[in-house]
Structure 1
Amino acid sequence: MPHQYTFDFPTTIQFGQGVVAYLGPHLLEQGLSHPLLVTDEVVATLPFFQKLIRNLDQQGVKADVYSELHKNPVKSDVLHGDQVYKECGCDCVVGIGGGVALDVARAIVLRVYHRRDLFDYDDLEGGSVLVTGRVPYFVTIPTTAGTGSEVGRSAIIAEDDTRKKRILFSPKLLARQVFADPELTVDLPAFITAATGMDALTHNIEAFLAKNYHPMCEGIALEGMRLIAAAIEKAVAAPDLQVRADMLLGSLMGAVAFQKGLGVVHSLAHPLSSLLDTHHGLANAVNLPYGMEFNYSGFEQKFDQMASSMGLGSGQGSRLSEYLMELNRRLGLPTKLREIGVGNEHLKKLSELAVMDFAHPNNPKPVTQEDFLMLYQKAL
């Protein structure tokens, strides 16, 4: 071993049916009683959320809610949330929802005591070294099995005008406590279950292939793939609590694993969200088979390992791209970009944005703007 490495793993996770009920007692144990609950407008109307607020109130915890978020979060969402936090006199932040709510919640956690321009903290420009002050106590509660943002240390927030995505990162932004309750995902619509599930699968796949060295993440990613591949079709068609739990675990594992890096698929997907406001999980799902076809040559052994984890059998890595395409079809997801509103007129701009994206430098092989254009054309 010619090099030395430092490995890091995330926070305390309380996992299981009904664990969301422990939020109030947990906050009170920390001496906290006035959380800002950051969620989206849909989750804010759900019965479990209203019940949670009532329970918190009965326990002496006064919760304020911030839910005015864009489908793909922008800087103004964060600044407005910070204003609500200050005006309401909150003492902690609880992110409840999918990737959007959790990213905005995490960015608000940064903003509360770090008062430079928000994008001065952009990690891609070295801004993470500026995250030196304290941050509010932060709890996350996922309601989808997709992004795994509940165990992340970064938030992806776009500029309001250009929609260019910025990444805010610091170990300080890691949730101090996660309540991962599969019951909260039971009522997800089939399409959202499919799209977020393929997002989680993409995280595990790209983390496993990423060129950085982190063997523990690779082991986690393989098990995450196994769980999701075995559960996702049933989770979409005929869900029960066990498959929901397996999907939630697979999502958590993907987010732990992708500290190793992501790759070409995310760089194909991010511009679709920026330019066309495409759901991130859906963008990943459509591009995943094409990105894996691009990556196969030279990494056959790793593809064999992934195929085996996903139940395709031994030495079947060459079938992986075909399997992922067919999986999208069985889940009722699109397999072509034209099905989600992409036209030839978008491809040049998409490829320009993709080559500037932060994910593909960790892809196992280099990706040029011409490669991105070719992949978009193939996927169209």
Structure 2
Amino acid sequence: MSVNRMILNETSYFGKGAIKEVVTEANKNHFKKALVVTDKDLLKFNVATKVTAILDEAGLDYEIFDQIVPNPTIEDVQAGVKACQSAQADHIIAIGGGSVIDTAKAIGIIVTNPEFSDVLSLEGVADTKNKTLPILAIPTTSGTAAEVTINYVITDKANERKFVCVDPHDIPVAAFIDSDMMLGMPKGLCAATGMDALTHAIEGYITKGAWEMTDMLHLQAIEVIAKSLRDSVAGSEKGREQMALGQYLAGMGFSNVGLGLVHGMAHPLSAHYDTPHGVACATLLPKIMDYNKEYTGERYREIARRFGIADADKMPLDQVREAAVQAVKQLGIDVGIPQNLRELGVKEEDIPQIAADAYRDVCTPGNPRETTLEEISGLYRSML
């Protein structure tokens, strides 16, 4: 048996009211001052302020950095580093979705490893020497699981590409999975981030590095998401609570084994067209599942079981694989995910560039089926 590594948060809190435990963690660690990293909308709509009110009540010192945008750039990270240094913060409280928490990770890593201040040198597996400035992560979307992963994604605007950073030093010291922080998500964001979580679970389950412990996490995540996403998008409080758990389970797994071609092909769509990451993944997922199906053994049968497909145990393998693909596709349709790339603004003439970017993406080698540049180009074209 090969050596497998698991890296998870030191501490995580789950359930309604979990954000109150931020005070517990701040006091336990003798933190003096936080940089609260969030975005303007989360402040405007009184989501981030649920946390700052708790900090105020406890008399904890902080400054706010709210310049985070979807698909954060190198420049956004560098602005955050300056804000963190100016505030003389000894920890970061990240309140938001994947873009916020990813930016917080990059800020925290550069503050403690200033030789990486160009940000670009963090691409791939960077040889950082020090742990990030401590991060307390509070997700406001149920999808990215950035609060429990060792990955983050930054946009290189100058070259119209996204790059993935993988660093065991960047994982938040504590995560607070509080569904009350997710109740304000609009339906579209709820659907996109939820399908992103499903993509994490399915890609993590079929990736080359998958093993028993991550299989357990990914299969449970698939089952929770399959049962809960429609209700969550419809606004059900119980559905959102379940999705908060499902996305975290998926994050525990994929962070430790990697992803595959769906993410490899999704990153260029966000970089070139500013497509929300979850939408890009959700649109691509059924097509890439179909592309991979002959290379996954019995794993699609287990996915079909978790989707509650009748007779999944008895179906011939080719039929159960197709049933799993169709179940995922139907879930995407039901929650309003675009079904072709033209809806995302993709142009035929751009395919050579985005295909080249996808082929080089750090996620692509984890795919269970070996792929080529030509095949990736063909997959993009087939979805226009």
- The amino acid across from 1:166 in the alignment is F
Task: Structure 2 unaligned segments of length 5 or more: list them.
Answer: none
Q: What is the CA RMSD across the aligned residues, in angstroms?
A: 1.6
Give the SS at the match of 1:287.
Answer: helix
| Residue 298 of structure 1: how far off its partner (Å) | 3.3
Shift of 1:121: 4.3
Higher alpha-carbon deviation: 337-346 or 311-320: 311-320
Query: Is 1:311 matched up with 2:303?
Result: no
Other-structure match for 1:122: 122
1:304 and 1:318 in contact (8 A); partners too: no
TM-score scaled by length of structure 2: 0.93
**Paired letter, 2:252:** V
Q: Distance in 2 between matches of 1:108 and 1:223?
A: 32
- Structure 1 residues 319-361: Cα deviation after superposition (integer angstroms, max 9, x where no partner): 1222222222111121111112112222222211111111110
Q: Which one-letter code corresponds to 2:18 in the other structure?
A: V
Task: Show the counterpart of 2:372.
Answer: 368
Contact kept, 8 Å, 1:300 with 1:317, in 2: the verdict is: no
Match of 1:210 among 202, 207, 210: 207
Q: How does 1:2-151 map to 2 (within 5 A)?
A: 3-11=1-9, 12-117=11-116, 118-119=118-119, 121-124=121-124, 126-127=125-126, 129=127, 131-151=128-148
Distance in 1, matches of 2:16 and 2:296, equals 39
Answer yes or no: is the 8 Å Cα contact 1:121–1:168 preserved in 2: no
Aligned pairs (5 A) from 1:228-377: 228-240=225-237, 242-258=238-254, 259-313=256-310, 314=312, 315=315, 316-377=320-381
Alpha-carbon displacement from aligned partner over 1:215-237 (angstroms, at most 9, x marks no partner):
21011101100000000011112
Deviates more, 1:313-322 or 1:191-200: 313-322
TM, length-normalised to structure 1: 0.94
Greater shift, 308-317 or 245-254, is seen at 308-317
Distance 1:238 1:168, change over 3 A: closer
- Specify every segment of 5 or more residues in structure 1 that has no aligned partner in the other structure, as ranges: none
Deviations 1:306-330 (A, max 9, x none): 1111112314222122222222211
1:157 Cα deviation after fit = 1.2
In the aligned structure 2, how far is the partner of 1:37 from the partner of 1:374? 44
How many Å separate the matches in 2 of 1:51 and 1:96?
Answer: 10
Instruction: Give the secondary-structure state (helix, strand or coil) at the position aligned to 1:296.
Output: helix
Q: Give the number of aligned pairs.
A: 374
Which amino acid is 1:374 matched to?
G
CA distance in 2, matches of 1:50, 1:267: 35
Paired residues of 1:156 and 1:168 also in contact (CA < 8 A):
yes
Counterpart contact for 1:266–1:284, Cα < 8 Å:
yes
CA distance in 2, matches of 1:68, 1:230: 35
In 2, Cα distance between equivalents of 1:4 and 1:290: 31
| SS in structure 2 at match of 1:175 | coil
Distance, in Å, in 2 between the alignment partners of 1:81 and 1:192 is 25
Are the counterparts in 1 of residues 94 and 101 from structure 2 also a CA contact under 8 Å? yes
Q: CA deviation at 1:300?
A: 4.4
Q: Residues 120 and 335 of structure 1: is their aligned pair in 2 closer, same or farther, counting only changes over 3 Å?
A: closer
Identity %: 28
Change over 3 Å in CA distance of 1:341–1:132 after alignment to 2: same
